[in-house]
Amino acid sequence: MREGVTLARKLGAEGIPVKLIVDAAACWFVSQVRLVLVGADALSAQGLVNKTGTAVLALAAKNLGIDIYSLTSTAKLVPAGYQPPDQELRPPSEMLEEPPPNVTPVNYYFDLTPLEHLSGVVTEIGILPSEMLLRLLGTIRVHPALAV
């Protein structure tokens, strides 16, 4: 969805030097950084839901001893007990316009990163380590309309 391109343009316009890489190259570059920051589409007790590749990036950062934080608002916290719908398979044409014979593109946008692979979560209420995040998630209740 080219979110990185949009962010790179904004940072560059502010005079901040940016290296823009494809997601698949992130693990190669992680050894060259002091800190990894990722977004969040949702956060639950099960983990961080974010773009595919985040879980592998978190593992690489953890293996190298590099802190990795998710930047998100508390509005993306999902209450304990809520089970989101299964992830929708995205159009194969986004990967290959015309797949060759016997090739089936599998296109998912999101993966799940276990909370223990994160150094913490940065929100508008502060930096939350995993233990504090789990306590906060335990206080949020599912609206009855969602608890089906």
- Three-state DSSP class for 99? coil
Q: Which residues are marked as active site? A: 41
Residue 36: count other Cβ atoms within 10 Å of its Cβ.
Answer: 22
- Three-state DSSP class for 105? coil
User: What's the token pair of residue 117?
Assistant: 């692979």
Which among 59, 17, 16, 15 has a CA at the least distance from the CA of 36? 59
60-63 long-range contacts, CB within 8 A, separation 24+: 60/26, 60/27, 60/30, 61/30, 61/36, 61/117, 62/117
